[in-house]
């Protein structure tokens, strides 16, 4: 009995301690010290009219690209450039083995020289034939005159006539030989020029100032017509080439406006949109239901082929809810905005945003028209902090 009584007293004492602790924990905390308001600038969220925009991704390409290749089959003797080298117009890029072509050129030169000597011999032969013809003509005239006086026989006249005809034939043959030799000289000269031109194909030069984008061969390789050896890009201008769906064909035209933005790669800040113009619009590919658009890129440092970029074209106008871009606070992948409530305090709201235009950003959710948002919120601003210098939200805004 004593043990039961002792246990009951212990339980009552423990219950009293728990009750006392509960009373102490539920006691009201002292009122927090009032925080001083922060000076801020605000602006109202409002509906506005924006044009519809459509974006497409593409790759940066040089406006001029030359794929240097050989026009004949020959081993590559020298490759004087490598990828990344800057070259000038007319600079030697590749030298082919031209020993065989040099031999052919020398042979053609010798043939041309021989033809010229042959022409001299043919002309001398013609001169001799013409002299013989003059003599035969004089003999014929003399015999013919004597025959009329019956001082020469018919046989003598026949011999003189035959001699004149033979001399004339020799003159005609000599003239033909001269013409043939002259034609041979022309052919030999043309062959010499062709051999010289072919020999010039062994030295490949840059067609313009630019940069070597790629080297496709090494010394010792066999060059063939059409096989690329070196690719040279003109660094004087670049374009962004994108593929667009056929449904966007009415939005682009040569000379029309297009905004571009280039992705500089990992670790570099994304560039701003820049206004540009459409340079080329290809026909629609019926198999892919798309077409290629080339947009001129403004001159800028660091541009090179292969960079990724985006093109934005304008479409029909639409009404959107927009807020100043400076009112949006980025925290990781989320967006927030401080909205001034009816009590003059800044309330942090999560918002969903869309496209940007002219310093404003489209608000998809989280804000209502008429809301007063804090511009460039200071780092010390937190949810519920009183603010000063900002118009309070209207009742209509609170109701929304």
Write out the two tokens for 396.
């209509």
Measured distance CA(17)–CA(120) in Å, rounded? 140
Q: Work out the angle at residue 353's Cα, subtended by the Cα atoms of residues 49 and 307, and round it to the nearest 5 degrees.
A: 95
Nearest to 211 by CA among 68, 104, 87, 380: 87
% of the chain at pLDDT higher than 70: 86
CB 223 within 8 A of CB 204: no
Mean pLDDT, the chain, integer: 82
Residue 265: pLDDT band (50, 70, 90) is low
Q: From CA 299, how far away is CA 278, in angstroms rounded?
A: 15
Tally the residues of the chain.
400
178-225 per-position pLDDT tens digit: 888 888 888 888 877 777 777 888 899 999 999 999 999 999 899 999
Q: CA–CA separation, 284 vs 290, rounded Å? A: 5
pLDDT digits (tens, 9 = 90+) for 62-102: 999 999 999 888 899 999 999 989 999 999 999 998 787 77
The three-state secondary structure class of 304 is coil
Q: Which residue has the higher pLDDT, 28 or 100?
A: 100
Confidence of residue 11 (pLDDT cuts 50, 70, 90): very low
Query: For the structural domain made of 54-61+236-316, what CATH number should be given?
Result: 2.40.30.170
- Residue-level pLDDT at 30: 40
Residue 13 has pLDDT above 50, yes or no: no
Return the H-helix or E-strand segment holding 154.
helix 154-200
Choose among 232, 219, 230, 231: nearest CA to 74: 219
**What crossing angle do the helices spanning 99-148 and 154-200 adopt, rounded to 10°?**
160
Domain 64-98+202-233 has CATH 2.40.50.100: yes
What's the pLDDT tens digit per position in 51-64?
788 889 999 999 99
pLDDT greater than 80 at residue 367: yes
Domain spans of the chain, in order of start:
38-51+320-399, 54-61+236-316, 64-98+202-233, 99-200
Instruction: From the options 2.40.420.20, 3.40.50.1240, 1.10.10.10, 3.30.1490.20, give the CATH code of 38-51+320-399.
Output: 2.40.420.20
Residue from 72, 7, 34, 48 nearest 358 by CA? 48
Run of H or E residues at 238 = strand 238-245
The two structure tokens encoding residue 104:
């052919």
Confidence of residue 14 (pLDDT cuts 50, 70, 90): very low
Contacts of 178 (CB under 8 A, 6+ apart): 119, 122, 123, 126
Max CA separation in the chain (angstroms): 197
The Cα 350–Cα 148 span in angstroms is 135
Residue 159 has a pLDDT of: 87
Would you say residue 20 has pLDDT above 60?
no
Of the listed ranges 31-35, 211-215, 394-398, the one predicted with least confidence: 394-398
Write down the pLDDT at residue 244. 92
Count CB atoms within 10 A of the CB of residue 256.
14
Closest residue by Cα to residue 293 from 237, 241, 256: 241
Average pLDDT, integer, range 347-361:
88
Is the pLDDT assigned to residue 23 strictly greater than 70? Answer: no
pLDDT tens track for 96-110: 987 877 777 787 788
pLDDT (0 to 100) of residue 271? 65
Give first-to-last CA distance, the chain, whole Å: 71
pLDDT above 60 for 127: yes
The mean pLDDT value for 271-295 works out to 90
CA distance 96 to 223: 8
Confidence category of residue 111, pLDDT binned at 50, 70, 90: confident
What are the CB-based long-range contacts (under 8 Å, 24+) for 212-215? 212/81, 212/82, 212/83, 212/84, 212/85, 212/86, 212/87, 212/93, 213/62, 213/65, 213/83, 213/305, 214/83, 215/79, 215/81, 215/82, 215/83
Residue 395 has pLDDT above 60, yes or no: no
Cβ-proximal residues to 197 (8 Å cutoff; 6+ apart), any chain: none
Please report the sign of the dihedral spanned by the C-alpha atoms of residue 143, residue 145, residue 148, residue 149.
negative
Q: Which of the residue ranges 37-41, 151-155, 299-303 has the most confident prediction, judged by mean pLDDT? A: 37-41
The rounded radius of gyration (Å) of the Cα atoms in the chain is: 49
């Amino acid at each position: 009995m004593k043990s039961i009584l002792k246990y009951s007293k212990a339980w009552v004492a423990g219950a009293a301690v728990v009750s006392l602790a509960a009373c102490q924990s539920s006691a009201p905390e002292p009122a927090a010290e009032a925080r001083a308001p922060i000076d801020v600038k605000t602006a109202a969220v409002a509906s506005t009219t924006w044009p519809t925009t459509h974006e497409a991704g593409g790759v940066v390409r040089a406006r001029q690209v030359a794929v240097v290749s050989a026009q004949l089959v020959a081993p590559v003797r020298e490759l004087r450039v490598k990828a990344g080298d800057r070259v000038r117009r007319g600079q030697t890029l590749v030298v082919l083995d031209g020993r065989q072509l040099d031999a052919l050129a020398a042979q053609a030169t010798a043939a041309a020289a021989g033809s010229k000597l042959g022409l001299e011999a043919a002309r001398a032969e013609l001169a001799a034939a013409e002299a013989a013809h003059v003599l035969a003509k004089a003999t014929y005239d003399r015999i013919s005159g004597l025959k009329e006086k019956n001082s020469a026989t018919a046989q003598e006249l026949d011999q003189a006539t035959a001699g004149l005809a033979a001399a004339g034939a020799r003159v005609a043959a000599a003239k033909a030989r001269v013409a043939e030799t002259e034609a041979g000289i022309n052919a030999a000269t043309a062959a010499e020029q062709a051999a010289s031109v072919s020999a010039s194909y062994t030295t490949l030069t840059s067609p313009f100032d630019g940069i070597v984008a790629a080297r496709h061969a090494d010394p010792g390789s066999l060059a063939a017509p059409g096989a690329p050896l070196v690719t040279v890009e003109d660094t004087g201008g670049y374009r962004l080439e994108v593929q667009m769906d056929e449904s966007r064909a009415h939005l682009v035209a040569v000379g029309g406006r297009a905004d571009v933005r280039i992705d500089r790669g990992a670790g570099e800040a994304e560039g701003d949109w820049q206004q540009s113009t459409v340079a080329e619009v290809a026909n629609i590919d019926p198999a892919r239901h798309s077409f290629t658009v080339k947009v001129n890129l403004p001159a800028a440092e660091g541009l090179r082929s292969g960079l990724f970029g985006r093109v934005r074209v304008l479409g029909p106008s639409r009404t959107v809810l927009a807020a100043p871009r400076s009112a949006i606070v980025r925290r990781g992948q989320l967006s927030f905005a401080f909205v001034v409530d009816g009590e003059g305090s800044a309330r942090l709201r999560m918002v969903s945003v869309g496209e940007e235009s002219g310093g404003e950003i489209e608000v998809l959710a989280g804000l209502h028209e008429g809301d007063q948002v804090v511009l460039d919120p200071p780092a010390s601003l937190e949810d519920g902090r009183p603010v000063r210098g900002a118009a309070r939200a209207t009742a209509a805004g609170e109701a929304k």
